[in-house]
C-alpha cells in the first residue's frame, strides 16, 4: 500500500493543480568541479545571487562577510571572478546598503545591480564598481522604532520609491528597470533609465496580477515581463505596462520519495503558501535571443526546468542533495546561453557551472 501511495501521490497533486505534462525528457548535464577559486581567507556564505557580464566575468552575491549578532547581522558581499573562475575583487566593501543579500544582475551595459532584502534597497554599480544609482531607503539606525519589518493584515499601503523586502530586477529594451518588491508589498515597480519612478502594479493575493512573494523577474526580447510568483506556484507574464498576459504553471511528474534539501518532506497538496510545492519558481532566467528559452528552479524536489516562453516544459534536470549535480535551494540562475547555466545555492554555499547536452 505504501508503494502504491508513493506512485499515486505526484499524480494526485498534479490533478489538484491542473493537467500534468507527462512526457518530459531528462536533460543530461555535467557540473564543472571547483569552478570558482576563492583566496585562502575568503569564503562564501549562502549564495543568494550569480550573474555574468559580456566579458564572461562572474558576480557572486553571497551572505558572507557576516558581522553583528546572530539575528540582525549584516550578511552581504559582492565578489567578481574572471572567465576561468579566478577571484578578481570585492565590490562595495562595507557598503551602507549591505544587509541581507538577495539577487545580483548585469544589464546590457555591464552595470551591476544588486537587490538587498534586508535594507530594502536596489543598488546600481558601474562596470568599474562605483555606485551609480540607489533605489529605496534603508531604515534609520538612529530611529528607536527601527526593527524587522512587520507583516500586518491587511498590509500597509506601499509607497512610491520605497520597497519592503525587495527581491530582484530586470530591464526592457528601452532601459526601463522592473523591480520585484517583494515579500511584503507584493508588487512590481517600474523606473525609467534615468531612475525616475514610473508606476507599480500588483498587490497580495492569488488572482491575475496579484502576488504571493514575487521572488525573481526576467524580461524577454519582446519586452514581456516574467514574474516568479513563488508563493502562488506560478510564473505570471505581463506587458511593460503591467497588463496581465498569461500564467505558466509547471506540472511535471516527480518521485514522491524524493528527499528535500532540508526539513520535512512537504505534505502535498499544500495549503496556503506554495513555496515548497513542486514547480514553485524560486528563480527564473531567460536566455539571450534569437532562440530564447526560460529556466526555472524549485525548492522541492530541487530540480531545474527548461521551458519555451509560452510555458511548454522541454526538459528537467537535477535533484536535492549536497554533491555535484545536486542542489540545495537554488536561489538564482544565470543563463548566458541555452546550454550553460550558473546556479547559486543557499544551503550548499556555492555556485555550480552546469554544462547541458543540447536538447529540444
Which pLDDT score is estimated for 20? 67
What is the edge-to-edge ordering of all strands in the sheet holding 214-219?
214-219, 225-229, 234-238, 244-248
Q: Answer for the pair 300, 252: CB distance below 8 angstroms, yes or no.
A: no
Separation of CA 255 from chain center: 24
pLDDT at 145: 81
User: pTM for the complete prediction?
Assistant: 0.93
Helix, strand, coil share (%) of the chain residues, nearest 5: 5, 40, 55
What pLDDT, on a 0 to 100 scale, did the predictor assign at position 7?
Answer: 43
Residue 301, Cβ density class (10 Å: 0-12 exposed, 13-18 middle, ≥19 buried): buried
The pLDDT of residue 26 is 96
- Give the sheet arrangement for strand 197-201, strand by strand: 166-171, 177-181, 187-191, 197-201
Mean pLDDT of each 10-residue bin along the chain, 360 residues long: 44 45 90 96 97 98 93 93 98 97 98 97 98 96 82 87 97 98 96 98 97 98 98 98 98 95 94 96 97 98 98 98 98 98 98 92
Task: For cell 531528462, name the residue.
Answer: 26
Amino acid at each position: 500500500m505504501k508503494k502504491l501511495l508513493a506512485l499515486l501521490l505526484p499524480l494526485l497533486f498534479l490533478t489538484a493543480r491542473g493537467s500534468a505534462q507527462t512526457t518530459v525528457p531528462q536533460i543530461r548535464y555535467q557540473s564543472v568541479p571547483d569552478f570558482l577559486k576563492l583566496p585562502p581567507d575568503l569564503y562564501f556564505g549562502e549564495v543568494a545571487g550569480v550573474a555574468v557580464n559580456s566579458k564572461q566575468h562572474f558576480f557572486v552575491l553571497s551572505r558572507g562577510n557576516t558581522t553583528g549578532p546572530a539575528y540582525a547581522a549584516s550578511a552581504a558581499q559582492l565578489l567578481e571572478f574572471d572567465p576561468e573562475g579566478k577571484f578578481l575583487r570585492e565590490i562595495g566593501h562595507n557598503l551602507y546598503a549591505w544587509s541581507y543579500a538577495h539577487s545580483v544582475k548585469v544589464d546590457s551595459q555591464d552595470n551591476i545591480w544588486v537587490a538587498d532584502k534586508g535594507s530594502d534597497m536596489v543598488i546600481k554599480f558601474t562596470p568599474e564598481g562605483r555606485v551609480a544609482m540607489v533605489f529605496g531607503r534603508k531604515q534609520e539606525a538612529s530611529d528607536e522604532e527601527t526593527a524587522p519589518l512587520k507583516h500586518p493584515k491587511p498590509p500597509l499601503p506601499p509607497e512610491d520609491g520605497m520597497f519592503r523586502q525587495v527581491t530582484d530586477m530586470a530591464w526592457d529594451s528601452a532601459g526601463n528597470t522592473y523591480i520585484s518588491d517583494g515579500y511584503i508589498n507584493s508588487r512590481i515597480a517600474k523606473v525609467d533609465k534615468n531612475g525616475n519612478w514610473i508606476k507599480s502594479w500588483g498587490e497580495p493575493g492569488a488572482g491575475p496580477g496579484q502576488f504571493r512573494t514575487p521572488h525573481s523577474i526576467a524580461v524577454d526580447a519582446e519586452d514581456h515581463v516574467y514574474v516568479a510568483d513563488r508563493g502562488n506556484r506560478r510564473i505570471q507574464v505581463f506587458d511593460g505596462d503591467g497588463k496581465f498576459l498569461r500564467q505558466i504553471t509547471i506540472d511535471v511528474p516527480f518521485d514522491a520519495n524524493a528527499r528535500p534539501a532540508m526539513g520535512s518532506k512537504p505534505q502535498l497538496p499544500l495549503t496556503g503558501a506554495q513555496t515548497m510545492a513542486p514547480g514553485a519558481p524560486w528563480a527564473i532566467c531567460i536566455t539571450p535571443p534569437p532562440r530564447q528559452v526560460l529556466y526555472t528552479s524549485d525548492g522541492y524536489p530541487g530540480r531545474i526546468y527548461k521551458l519555451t516562453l509560452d510555458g511548454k516544459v522541454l526538459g528537467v534536470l537535477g535533484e536535492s542533495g549536497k554533491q555535484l549535480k545536486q542542489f540545495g535551494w537554488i536561489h538564482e540562475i544565470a543563463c548566458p546561453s541555452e546550454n550553460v547555466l550558473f546556479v547559486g545555492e543557499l544551503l550548499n554555499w556555492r555556485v555550480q557551472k552546469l554544462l547541458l547536452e543540447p536538447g529540444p
